[in-house]
A and B are shown apart, each in its own frame.
Chain A
Amino acid sequence: DIQMTQSPSTLSASVGDRVTVTCRASQSISSWLAWYQQKPGKAPNLLIYKASSLESGVPSRFSGSGFGTEFTLTISSLQPDDFGTYYCQQYHSYSFTFGQGTKVEIK
């Protein structure tokens, strides 16, 4: 099974800060990597797919990069509404694995 490891587990940042979350795969997944945001009590929401493609309706301050085993999610200027937990997911073929999540708090 492919394992996904996110870091950090928690981060606290101020409005306007640039925020980066990292996701590492235990083996190459090409670009089959998605990022989701989940707010408390809500279902996850797709932000990024194919490592760097922005889902329709997602603000352009969100971006993704990476290939193979190393990926990053960047929020260029953190906004109050960006609090929540972010998950990466590999989705190659019929195997799906999520990272353990990164909780983003607004200072």
Chain B
Amino acid sequence: EVQLEQSGAEVKKPGESLKISCKGSGYSFTNYWIAWVRQMPGKGLEWMGIIYPGDSDTRYSPSFQGHVTISADKSISTAYLQWSSVKASDTAMYYCARRQVYSSSWHPFDYWGQGTLVTVSS
């Protein structure tokens, strides 16, 4: 069974660093992309970036480039989303999601993690 297991909820103060994780299981982790999606309270879905754990090829949404860092450790089938200095406006639910590699066709996000709630407050 394919699963994406995300790390638990975080409460941070403005200016603190943060790293959340997404562990894949039940499939070959290095053969699929992992995307990160933000959902602010009561709002819609926003794509942040995507990484291919096989070679760490990473693409960012222009809206999030420079604000977050996406990485992966294929040895433990885990992708990460990190901030060097969080702000109150980073308060949101963050989802990871899987995307199949291109094979004569593009693919959407077929499996999602359960989400990690990040709260930033002084």
Contact = CB atoms under 8 A, between A and B. Distances in A.
A7 to B, nearest CB: 14
Interface in B38-79: 44-47, 50, 59, 61-62
Interface in B54-108: 59, 61-62, 95, 97, 99, 105-108
Chain B contact-residue range equals: 20 to 34
Nearest to A101: B44
Given A44-B95, A92-B106, A93-B106, A98 B47 contact: yes
B113 A43 contact: yes
A66 B61 CA distance: 26
Contact of A89 (B50, B59, B108, B114): B108
B112 interface: yes
Nearest to A99: B44
Contacts of B97: 43-44
B24 interface: no
B95 A87 contact: no
11 contacts: A34-B109, A43-B114, A44-B45, A44-B109, A44-B112, A46-B108, A89-B108, A91-B108, A93-B106, A96-B50, A101-B44
